[in-house]
Amino acid sequence: MALSAQRLKRLVAHRERLERLQEQELAGAVRVLRIRQQALDAARASRLELLATDPGADLAARQGVVDYLQRLDREIAAKDAAVRHSLEDVDAERATLRERSRDRKAMESLLEKRVEEERVERNRADIRRLDDVAGRRWFDANGVAAAADTGGRE
């Protein structure tokens, strides 16, 4: 069953809405990635600042710095994993967006093809109608004499 042009237009509009929603999902995933990347960068900068400081000769201060560095390393590892996860999410959202875009373009192609088929069919119908009108006018103008000349064959 061929879909009408009107139905295809509704399908194209629906696919466009799905594509716009997917674009919003992608934007959200990119935003989360950016936030996580900034947090990771801040944690790394904090670690570098701590490494640049001199705790002095106090043993407790040195142990505090070492403990804090270990905690920062765990945070950095966790934030790095979160960034990798966000990158995977962004890649998945981009793949889904490409799929939605491909679906919309396919529907648009079907719509264009259907509209063209309808245009061609309308043109054919117009040509048949004009041929019928011209044939009737010719027959009315030439009447029975033309039918007798051809022996009733047309």
d(CA 86, CA 30): 8
Domains of the chain (ranges; CATH) run 5-113 (1.10.287.620)
Kindly state the tokens that stand for 104: 């919309």
Whether 11 contacts 103, CB under 8 Å: no
The one-letter code for the residue type at 28 is G
What lies within 8 Å, CB to CB, of 114 at 6+ separation is: 2, 3, 4, 5, 8
Q: Write out 71-135 in H/E/C secondary structure.
A: HHHHHHHHHHHHHHHHHHHHHHHHHHHHHHHHHHHHHHHHHHHHHHHHHHHHHHHHHHHHHHHHH
Say if residue 83 is exposed, middle or buried (CB neighbours under 10 Å; 0-12, 13-18, 19+).
buried
Q: What is the pLDDT of residue 151?
A: 56
Q: Phi and psi dihedrals of 146, rounded to 5?
A: -70, -35
What lies within 8 Å, CB to CB, of 65 at 6+ separation is: 50, 53, 55
Q: Write out the chain's pLDDT in tens, 154 residues.
A: 577 888 889 999 999 999 999 999 999 999 999 999 999 999 999 989 888 887 776 778 788 888 989 999 999 999 999 999 999 999 999 999 999 999 999 999 999 999 999 999 999 999 999 999 988 888 888 875 555 555 555 5
Whether 83 contacts 36, CB under 8 Å: yes
Whether 33 contacts 91, CB under 8 Å: no
Q: What is the pLDDT of residue 108?
A: 93
- Name the pTM for this structure: 0.70
SS3 2: coil
